[in-house]
Amino acid sequence: MKSLNVEKMEQIERGCGCSGAGICCEHWNLGRWGDWAVCFGCDGTFQYAEPW
């Protein structure tokens, strides 16, 4: 798991590959916000996050 500054979440870019839907999700722990699935598109751009 990774830690992350929530305010910077939308600035993060990663190349974590493609799933069938073109989205990949990683399990991140956001401290007092708890665990979240943080999801990226095929090009590594942030798409969305939701509670894990």
The contacts of residue 46 (CB under 8 Å, 6+ apart) are 9, 10, 11, 12, 13, 38, 39, 40
Residue 20: domain span: 12-51
Q: Which residues of the chain have pLDDT under 70?
A: 1-21
Look at residue 15 in the predicted model and tell me its pLDDT. Answer: 46
Q: Tell whether pTM > 0.75.
A: no
Query: In angstroms, rounded to a whole number, what is the distance separating the alpha carbons of residues 19 and 7?
Result: 26
* Residue 4: inside a domain: no
| 41 inside domain | yes
**7 is a domain residue:** no
Task: Look at the block and give the residue holding tokens 């799933």.
Answer: 19
Q: How many domains does the chain have?
A: 1
